[in-house]
Structure 1
Amino acid sequence: MIKEFTMNSMKRFIPVTLIRGFLDAGKSTLINRLAQGGTLCPEKEDILLLSCEEGETAYDDTCLNQKNITVIGLEDESRLNREYLERLDALYAPKRIILECNAMWDLVEFELPQNWKVEKRIAVLCGPTLGLYLDNMRAFLGPMLSRCDQIFINRCDSGGTGMLSPVKAKLRPLLDDTSAVMIESQGSLYAFDDIRDILPYTLEADPVVITPENYVCWFYDCQDHQNRYKGRRISMNASVKKSPVLGTGGFALGRIAITCCEADMEFLGYMAHYDLIDSIPQFAHVHAEAMVRYRFMQKYNAVMPYLEVLRMEPLNPDDSIVTF
């Protein structure tokens, strides 16, 4: 993410609001709305808006002028360098910065002026095209949504929150637990939990069969909706990860998953207990049936799923990686 340098005590601190989204996602519309409502600038102060592109909706010049917001266009990524931004700082002496840029821009190496600090990160997504981006542009979506304070999903007027049900399970792994997700539909805002769930397996089955294709959906839903799974029996193929710190019979049961791109592979699993785990080799691929329990875990300072394994059978090695 953007490099932020230690602030010189002799310089004023300037907060930066970073707004990212793909072309025509609704970034300008959001900026107009936030400016009109006073969210971006609660007090009348000199604000510098650095804009990367012209979308379908133009800025509301009347509103921006009333709010003392000066717009500077950025032709390309090369303008986001420390030297150029410091010149803008000296020329306009802003009290606040709004940096609006395309999600395709790589912000890893961008350096902000010494006295600029990112205060808030906002991502803007277009509801009708979200599924397409999740399927084909996940490598860009992941970094954009990481560490976001707010995520706006707009243009859901035609189907309301229901139009997002088919993509909810794919979007959930990319969200930080601290991100506030707001969905705009016909002038009203809804929360992420207002999206109706469409689960790819039957909860009424005994056991609930979790296939590799559905594993990631189950993994996150098991955390988010504990009442659905508490006391239910599940059946799945997974891998064993042992550690002596987990105590007698303790281990982790899960699968390797790609959450964003190949560079972001990680083991997604839960703590488990099986009396005969010593007979199962480390990293073995197994078929397991388990009861889903929940217990408070100090490491996460939260109540987390815990798998009480009823039976386990080794399978042939399987290096397959689950995706979304």
Structure 2
Amino acid sequence: MFKRKKKEMMVYVVMGFLEAGKTSLICDLITDDMYDDVKTLILACEEGEEEYTQDILNRGKAVCEYIEDEEAFCGEVIKKFLKKHRPDRIIIEYNGMWPVAHIPKLCDELEEICFDSEVIFQTLDVANDETFLLYMKNMPSMMVEHFKMAQMVIINRCTVEKTNKTAIRGSIKAVNPAVQIVYESEDDAFYEMKEELPFDINAEVIDISNDDFGLWYIDMSEHQENYDGKTLKVTGMIQKPSGLPQGFVVFGRFAMTCCADDVQYMGFLCKADSWEEYKNKQYVTVTARLEYKYMDEYGEEGPVFYAEEIIPAEKPDEELVYFN
């Protein structure tokens, strides 16, 4: 017998701190002409400066219920709202101060509650460019948790004069390489603004300074076509773990993606005729050709340095790499 195809239940989780623009985004979502026949249940977990007016809710065929208590953010409570309103989709305005660990747990609970529907979750993080760097400085752990959970990060209120797309991308992509970043601005000229890198990717030898290692690493990970077959000069630490093919070491730097408790080594394979004269965890400056190829150590295609010159180097003044 043929099984009846399950109806899709879209669940959007919109994260972000107060005044990030979550409510404005949700109002745009519910009044979009594409969703004229869709009934939406908004679950608002905090009250910001902007409210859901009855006019907006009527136009968007939406209803709004408030969950102000963190303990009430659970399947049992939401189940009552689903029975009351019978929505076609759910949009959750998530409280930016709550742990994001509640989100995957709720996803599992909704799949059981809506057993006759295919529940599809999409997580979005909304950030205000005017306060982005301030929050990254004062609340980095919470910002990073949002980035890790998000499938899309929307940066709004961008301007040509003040928005640093390179710094923003570095902060986000360092912890979630797969996330999509969307910039929003009222200035059309902003969308024509090209992202400037602090090094010349068209140079005969691309010279990466110690301070720019993090930005280069992110750009290399995202845009391999810009570096494949190119020659680079860069300083890093070599590590000699057992089991590598002959002539290979791991070349990279220690990076802080969030705070002092979140330091990790970010490196890739580097091949030379011999590494015998260099010690494990020694800093060197390599001039090398970069190729992307499959390696068993990666389990997929990845960057491989082929060293043309190796020079002993001093430890950088700032040993940790930052991505902004």
Aligned residue for 2:70? 77
Name the TM-score, length of structure 2 as normaliser: 0.79
Q: Is the 8 A contact 1:17 1:99 kept in 2?
A: yes
> What code does the residue aligned with 1:210 have?
S
Aligned residue for 1:25? 20
CA pair 25-121 structure 1, distance change in 2 beyond 3 A: same
Aligned residue for 2:265? 267
Aligned residue for 1:150? 152
CA pair 115-195 structure 1, distance change in 2 beyond 3 A: farther
Aligned residue for 2:163? 163
Superposed CA offset, 1:186-244 (max 9, x none): 176987xx663343456659671431x32211211223344654433313132324342
Name the TM-score, length of structure 1 as normaliser: 0.79
Alignment of 1:1-324 (within 5 A): 14-38=9-33, 42=35, 44-109=37-102, 111-112=105-106, 113=109, 114-115=112-113, 117-156=119-158, 158-159=159-160, 163-165=163-165, 167-168=167-168, 170-174=170-174, 176-186=176-186, 196-201=194-199, 208-211=207-210, 213-226=211-224, 229=227, 230-244=229-243, 246-282=244-280, 284-297=281-294, 299=298, 301-302=300-301, 304-312=302-310, 320-324=319-323
Superposed CA offset, 1:116-139 (max 9, x none): 545211111111222222333221
- Of 23-32 and 247-256, the range deviating more from structure 2: 247-256
Q: Distance in 2 between matches of 1:239 and 1:72?
A: 55
5+ residue gaps, structure 1: 1-8
Q: Distance in 2 between matches of 1:133 and 1:173?
A: 17
Q: Is the 8 A contact 1:12 1:115 kept in 2?
A: no
Q: Is the 8 A contact 1:288 1:310 kept in 2?
A: no
- Of 267-276 and 172-181, the range deviating more from structure 2: 172-181
Q: Is the 8 A contact 1:249 1:278 kept in 2?
A: no
Superposed CA offset, 1:23-61 (max 9, x none): 10111111111222245xx35233210112232332253
> What code does the residue aligned with 2:238 have?
S
Aligned residues: 305
Deviation at 1:85? 2.0
Aligned residue for 1:3? none
Deviation at 1:301? 4.9
Q: Distance in 2 between matches of 1:263 and 1:13?
A: 40
CA pair 108-205 structure 1, distance change in 2 beyond 3 A: same
* RMSD of aligned Cα (Å): 3.4
CA pair 221-195 structure 1, distance change in 2 beyond 3 A: farther
CA pair 165-150 structure 1, distance change in 2 beyond 3 A: closer
Deviation at 1:314? 5.6
Q: Distance in 2 between matches of 1:169 and 1:98?
A: 26
Deviation at 1:277? 2.1
Percent of aligned pairs with the same residue? 23
Q: Is the 8 A contact 2:206 2:232 kept in 1?
A: yes
CA pair 278-185 structure 1, distance change in 2 beyond 3 A: same
> What code does the residue aligned with 2:52 have?
Y
Q: Distance in 2 between matches of 1:224 and 1:92?
A: 43
